[in-house]
Structure 1
Amino acid sequence: MATLDLDATSSSSPAAPPGVSRFHHTPCYCEENVYLLCKKLSEEGIAKSDGSDLYVVFISNEKKQIPLWHQKASPRADGVILWDYHVVCVQKRKDSNLPHLVWDLDSSLPLPSPLATYIAETIRPSFQLFSEFQRVFRIVHAPIFLRSFASDRRHMKDSAGNWTSPPPSYEVIVAEDGTAHNLNEYMEMPSADVVKSIGPDTIDAVLTQKLGVLVSESHLEEFFSKIS
């Protein structure tokens, strides 16, 4: 994950929300942060032990330019930044009286935040964007992600082989089948593959397919309202 050029005025970054420090976080490695986050939420009983109430959500688009607000890496007071991609975790709540939750370790919003609040404050669908900045969301069921995801961090090296951002100190993540790197598969977001509506086939695809499904921001909240 890397920032892109964005005309911004300087401002001090907000303090990290309470509780963030208990989770492993390496700047610019959001996919690995979420991988470890899902494991920890399950291990500590915050989520189900098998992680079945957790969903990994990749945010990007074909241009690899997505604006998000309330990001701690932003120098602006409103926290807006232009990422090439970002990854968060959404926790589905069984009780219809409880809001679904978004876990974003890079956000200055409370951790976790209700899904509706996160969408309104971070995605800001009411903010009119040029087409190249429209965001696409890849939703992947956490149990599948934890088995299938792999990254050897090659995307964080420049042409000379130097790190563009210091890597985590732990070993690289290898998939259960031995795959060494497939992050690029999760980051590819062709607009032609975005589902037109949320139906049973969409839900089934997320629960069974390695790469889940692609949804638009207008269908993001609807997806989580329909999944059992």
Structure 2
Amino acid sequence: MSPTLPDCSNCVYTNCYCEENIFLLLKRFLTTPENRLHWDFFAVLISNPTKTVALWNQRAASSRDSAIIWDYHVVLALRERERPDKSLSYRQTSELAAWIYDLDTCLPVPCHWQEYVGGTFPPNCGLPVEFQSLFRVVPGEEYLNNFASDRSHMISLTQSPKPQYFAKAPPYPCICGPSAAEQGIKHNLMSHFVSMVADEGFGSVMDFSSFVAWCSRTQP
């Protein structure tokens, strides 16, 4: 029997700041010992070299049947942990569930990975390569320690003396993880997380088939 899924009700949410929403949700989940006992947590950044990824069932789309093109998107993934004793009475690794928390989806939250992947990246839709997604999977603690955003990527380049944001900024201060702060880093969102250059940044970059294998536990 699977452990209880962490509750994301009443979580902090700001429209168009998915990277910060997921940071705060990860922080909330990882402060609960019971969660850490049963689940491994990850931030999953979705983008590609042209920063044009097509996702379905997003609330910002004109309809559920329509895709929306994001420059990037961020969700939280969790995978059920293996029992250390490897007892035969426990389920096989391939049966351990993975779940996705996407705070911008029309699908259930959380959502079993198969339903989420099938609803967000429909198969056989013949997408041109410039709209196909890559995935950077970052362990939760690594994301919390190293993430930094000064929100400069959301500022419109105008002549106004006061910064004009594409979307209203969150009411709380900019986020900077402890490791990033120690190094004096104020903004690495685009270069170390959204970028899909495999040998740069944090975590592991995967194509669609590798991400599915990761979710299904056929790949570490």
- Please report the TM-score for the alignment, with normalisation by the length of structure 2: 0.80
Out of 166, 169, 184, the position equivalent to 1:167 is 169
- Which consecutive unaligned segments of at least 5 residues does structure 2 have? 1-6, 82-90
Residue 89 of structure 1 deviates from its aligned partner by 0.7
Q: Is the strand fraction higher in 1 or 2? A: 2
1:68-124: CA deviations, max 9, x gaps? 011111121325211110000110113544421001000111110011111111122
Residue by residue, what CA displacement relative to the aligned partner does 1:50-72 show, whole Å, maximum 9, x if unpaired? Answer: x9701111000111101101111
The within-5 A match list for 1:1-228 is 21-44=9-32, 47-48=35-36, 53-78=40-65, 80-94=67-81, 96=93, 97-160=95-158, 161-177=163-179, 178=181, 179-185=185-191, 186-190=193-197, 193=198, 211-224=202-215, 225-226=217-218
Task: Supply the distance in 2 between the matched residues of 1:189 and 1:75 (Cα, whole angstroms).
Answer: 28
Q: Name the TM-score, length of structure 1 as normaliser.
A: 0.77
Partner Cα separation in structure 1 for residue 34 and residue 63 of structure 2: 32
Inter-partner Cα distance in structure 2 for 1:154 and 1:115: 32
Q: % of aligned pairs identical? A: 33
What is the alpha-carbon root mean square deviation over aligned residues? 2.3
Asked if structure 2 preserves the Cα contact closer than 8 Å seen for 1:72 and 1:106, the reply is yes
Higher radius of gyration, 1 or 2: 2
1:14-70 Cα offsets, whole Å, 9 max, x none, are: xxxxx7651111010000000001111223457317x97011110001111011011
Question: Helix, strand or coil: the match of 1:48?
Answer: helix
Structure-1 separation of matches of 2:54 and 2:22 = 19
Structure 1: where are the runs of 5+ without partners?
1-18, 195-208
Deviates more, 1:139-148 or 1:179-188: 179-188
The change in CA–CA distance for 1:210 and 1:147 in structure 2 (over 3 A counts) is farther
How many residue pairs were aligned? 193
Which consecutive aligned stretches of 4+ in structure 1 deviate over 6 angstroms post-superposition?
Answer: none
